């Protein structure tokens, strides 16, 4: 008789055999089934399958379709070429085709400590994210040191059948050649039709260019951006990443966005949108549901050099004013000024002590300027213009800048808590600021740097010993550059080190001031500069004729 252990063992072996046999059968069956499919040894019968057909039904076009068809022919590709030249801008490449030095960051070196508070670092970094330039793997827009021609890409739109086109200044800035390609032009290697610059306005980053045409061109109408509302649908058309006639849609996310503080952003009050816009869209139209332009796509905020849902467009009402000035005989924008300075964001205690809620506290008056001649003094609080209450500094600047030089306004102001009025004649903003610079130089004859700031638009300081040691030479460090100034137009940037001007050494600030103080209108001015962030790039030459 078998033992209990032997019986249990036999039973387990039998169970295992049954399990293995079952698995083997399943595997064999699966193998035959698979072989039958793959090997097509079984007859595949699809006689019962019904062929597919395209449904011949029509979908009524929505508003986006209608607008794209209507406006698309008036939206153009803008290609620019910049010939090879030496450039000091060898650091970070911004997306619109200019190569700029990497902004200073806290703790880089001693010179950076002296730049703190100048408003350059964070906001220069932001504007390095302007879109409208070439693809990330292309060269920068100022020409390469390797002798290659640099190319960049943007968009624009035709507003006059004679060939006048609106775009962004940064799309065509410093370009040696500009080409425009229409949607009807052949899609070939040809860059397009040659264009010339009619006028630019750096303060709003707008430009007008023109192409010659033998027949009227399609145009787009400018709408009223003031009536646009947050939440309104909008449509953008442009050439992102060289993909022409790309249409995207979104809504107006916000209005009156100022993205750069101080004087640089005084005339930049953007429409914010979440319509997808990317590098190459810059200068293209933002359209309302009537197919009218309510903005010119100008900037994006991004951490990836691409769309992240935050874009900015210059409002059409501003665009119309700038365009009309740029096509005038002077081809420039003339803005009014009364020759005062003030500071935004004053503490509430200041308002309470000076007894005002809304208005502008005057902190500086240009001697001999319009406000000075009208009797305005430091400490006055401007509260009204021609009887209309003034909310803040932006309101004051916008109102006065829109007035023509020579016209008069009635200013209401508080002085020592008492209400008073003054009649002031508007001056030309450019001339008023030039007079202010000359006045500062005259009032501070020992500070010749003020004279150089007025002439060149640049403030410098002596390089620290560590910087001089790193560069193996002496020079002065650029602390700030006034937007639109001679230095700005030549490509000088904060952080660069100037070692010579017109071959004369500028080893110290005193030497720099002495050389700059002798410059006059009509002189050729050449700066020899080094970028301390990229000292291996060597000496670079920037310059032009002082106007």
Active-site residue, from 282, 316, 337, 452 = 282
Residue with tokens 């290659």: 148
- Strand partners for 427: 337
H helix and E strand count, the chain: 14, 29
Burial class for 402, CB neighbours closer than 10 Å (0-12, 13-18, 19+): exposed
Structure tokens at 397: 């600047």
Cα gap 34→44, rounded to integer Å? 14
Is 87 catalytic? The answer is no
96 counts as catalytic? no
What's the CA gap between 417 and 197, in Å, rounded?
Answer: 51
Chain center to CA of 9: 84
> For 37-68, b where at least 16 C-beta lie within 10 A, e where not — what string?
eeeeeeeeeeeeeeeeeeeeeeeeeeeeeebb
Give the span between the Cα atoms of 155 and 157, in whole angstroms. 7
Q: Six-digit token pair at 171? A: 């799309």
DSSP state of 285: E
Residue 412's DSSP bridge partners are: 384, 421
Bridge partner list, 28? none
Instruction: State how far the Cα of 209 lies from the Cα of 264, in Å rounded to an integer.
Output: 24
Beta pairing, strands 177-181 & 75-82 = antiparallel
Between the CA atoms of 119, 123, 125 and 126, what dihedral angle is there, to the nearest 10 degrees? 180
Selecting among 111, 150, 152, 170, the annotated active-site residue is 170
Q: Do residues 251 and 234 lie in contact, with contact meaning Cβ atoms separated by under 8 Å? A: yes
Token pair for residue 247?
């249409």
Name the one residue in this structure whose structure tokens are 């699809």: 46
Q: Which residues contact 87 (CB under 8 A, 6 or more apart)?
A: 99, 140, 142, 143, 145, 491, 540, 542
Find all residues with CB under 8 Å of 237, minimum gap 6, and list them: 68, 71, 72, 75, 155, 245, 246, 247, 284, 285, 287
* Whether 269 is catalytic: no
Q: What is the distance between the alpha carbons of residues 172 and 192, in angstroms, rounded to a whole number?
A: 15
Alpha helices in 39-143 (DSSP H): 63-71, 110-115, 121-127
Given 150, 152, 155, 205, which residue is catalytic? 205
Question: Residue with structure tokens 């968009």?
Answer: 155
CA distance 417 to 380: 9
Task: Determine how many CB atoms are found less than 10 A away from the CB of residue 188.
Answer: 8
And the tokens for 288?
Answer: 């309302």
Say how many Å lie between the first and final Cα of the chain, rounded.
122
- Annotated catalytic residues are 170, 205, 282
């Amino acid at each position: 008789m078998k033992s209990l252990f032997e019986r249990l063992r036999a039973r387990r072996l039998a169970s295992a055999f049954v399990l293995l046999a079952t698995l083997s059968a399943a595997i064999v069956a699966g193998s035959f089934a698979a072989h039958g499919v793959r090997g097509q040894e079984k007859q595949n019968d699809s006689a019962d399958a019904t062929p597919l057909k395209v449904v011949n039904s029509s979908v009524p076009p929505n508003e986006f379709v209608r607008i794209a068809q209507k406006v698309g022919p008036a939206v153009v590709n803008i290609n620019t070429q910049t010939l090879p030249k030496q450039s000091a801008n060898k650091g970070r490449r911004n997306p619109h085709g200019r190569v700029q030095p990497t902004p200073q960051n806290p703790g880089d070196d001693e010179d950076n400590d002296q730049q703190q508070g100048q408003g350059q670092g964070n906001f220069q970094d932001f504007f390095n994210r302007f879109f409208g330039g070439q693809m990330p793997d292309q060269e920068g827009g100022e020409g390469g040191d390797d002798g290659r021609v640099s190319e960049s890409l943007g968009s624009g739109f035709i507003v006059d059948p004679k060939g006048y086109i609106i775009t962004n200044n940064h799309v065509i800035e410093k370009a040696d050649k500009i080409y425009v390609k229409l949607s009807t032009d052949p899609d070939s290697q040809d860059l397009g039709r040659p264009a010339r610059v009619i006028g630019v306005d750096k303060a709003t980053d707008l430009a007008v260019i023109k192409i010659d045409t033998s027949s009227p061109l399609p145009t787009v109408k400018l709408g009223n951006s003031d009536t646009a509302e947050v939440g309104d649908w909008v449509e953008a058309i442009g050439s992102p990443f060289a993909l022409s006639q790309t249409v995207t849609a979104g809504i107006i996310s916000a209005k009156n966005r100022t993205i750069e503080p101080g004087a640089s952003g005084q005339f930049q009050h953007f429409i914010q949108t979440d319509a997808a816009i990317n590098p190459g869209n810059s200068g293209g139209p933002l359209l309302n549901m009537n197919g009218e332009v309510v903005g010119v796509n100008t900037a994006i905020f991004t951490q990836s050099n691409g769309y992240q849902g935050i874009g900015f467009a210059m409002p059409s009402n501003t665009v119309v004013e700038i365009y009309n000035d740029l096509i005038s005989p002077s081809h420039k924008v003339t803005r009014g000024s009364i020759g005062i300075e003030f500071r935004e964001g004053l503490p509430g205690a200041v308002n309470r002590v000076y007894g005002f809620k809304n208005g502008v506290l005057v902190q500086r008056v240009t001697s001999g300027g319009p406000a000075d001649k009208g009797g305005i003094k430091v400490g006055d609080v401007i509260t009204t213009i021609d009887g209309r209450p003034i909310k803040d500094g932006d309101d004051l600047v916008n109102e006065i800048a829109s007035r023509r030089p020579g016209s008069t306004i009635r200013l209401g102001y508080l002085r020592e808590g008492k209400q008073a009025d003054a009649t002031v004649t508007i001056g030309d903003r450019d001339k008023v600021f030039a007079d202010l610079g000359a006045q500062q130089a005259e009032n501070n004859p020992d500070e010749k740097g003020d004279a150089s700031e007025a002439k060149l638009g640049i403030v410098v300081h002596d390089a620290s010993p560590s910087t001089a040691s790193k560069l193996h030479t002496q020079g002065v460090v650029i602390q700030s550059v006034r937007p639109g100034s001679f230095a700005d137009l030549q490509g000088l940037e904060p952080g660069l080190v100037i070692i010579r001007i017109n071959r004369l050494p500028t080893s110290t600030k005193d030497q720099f001031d002495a050389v700059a103080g002798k410059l006059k209108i009509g002189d050729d001015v050449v700066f020899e500069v080094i970028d301390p962030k990229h000292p291996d790039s060597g000496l670079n030459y920037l310059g032009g004729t002082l106007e």
